[in-house]
Amino acid sequence: MAKVIMIQGTASGVGKTMLTLALCRIFKQDGYSVAPFKAQNMTANTHITEAGDEIAVSQWLQSLAAGIEPSPDMNPIILKPSTEHNTTLIMLNGKPFDTINAYNYKGVKQKLVTEIMAAYTRLSTKYDVIIIEGAGSPVELNLNKDDIVNMGMAKRANTPVLLVADIDRGGVFASLYGTINLMDETERAYVKATVVNRFKGEPVYFADGIKILEDITKLPVAGVIPYIAINLDEEDSLFYGDAHALQSIDYESQFDNIADNVRKSLDMELIYKILNDGV
């Protein structure tokens, strides 16, 4: 079975997708076979694989960074919202499955857990490393009981978690401290380190900030990642552009640049320790 690590964030858009992509590239560069996994995506921005299956563009890009063929196993559930009658199309394993609304999805969601775990198991028997990406925040307390993509997935996969915050939007201390302390004791045990993303300026000037974060969260800061411009879809649920425009991008150089930025900024020795030690 694969070793596994999960990327969760304090909010949507903090950089989970790009950190997952970067780690896919880094582990590939280090000689491992690696695959991305996201249990559920809410997006209309999808890519059609050669086999005719739909996966979210974010997992498609991550698979390219990992140097592997994209597969619906990497993204078994896609929710495609429609303005018509406020309905949402569920894509299951790359194919249309059901149309739901806000009132009946709760009943359907738990039925999808078996499919999610089957997809995850297929990946974990095929690759050395699986990098799971969460969605939004893991402490939406009104939704956590039936969670299938954040701590619900972490528990099912028994995976250690890196918690990412975006310092560029402000409130990094409150967002990390608050997120960790809104988790219950069991959930907090899965979180092994924090990551500060999109730092503008010299990270050395955040040394006091690292000490403060480690003091208040009781967790190591695995890295402070500098802000870099990325010409890729950062958060698929917030993407409103033309996915076909992505075809013209020089992916390989972008993937290498992103991976280099992250590798230089993360304590990779700690990341490998977390990966190897597990929960």
pLDDT at 238 over 80: no
Asked whether the predicted pLDDT for residue 242 surpasses 60, the reply is no
Residue 58 to residue 61: CA distance in whole angstroms? 5
Residue 204 scores a pLDDT above 50: yes
pLDDT at 249: 66
Residue 173 has which token pair? Answer: 């201390």
Indicate the average pLDDT of the chain.
90
Look at residue 105 in the predicted model and tell me its pLDDT.
75
- How far apart are the C-alpha atoms of 25 and 6, rounded to whole Å? 15
CB 16 within 8 A of CB 164: yes
Which of 64-73, 138-147, 229-238 is modeled with the greatest confidence?
64-73
Provide the pLDDT for residue 146: 86
Q: What is the reported pLDDT for 273?
A: 98
Contact by Cβ (8 Å): 257, 217: no
Question: Cα torsion at 116, 120, 157, 278 (round to 10°)?
Answer: -160
pTM higher than 0.85 for the full model?
A: yes
pLDDT value for 228: 86
In the DSSP assignment, the letter for residue 128 is S
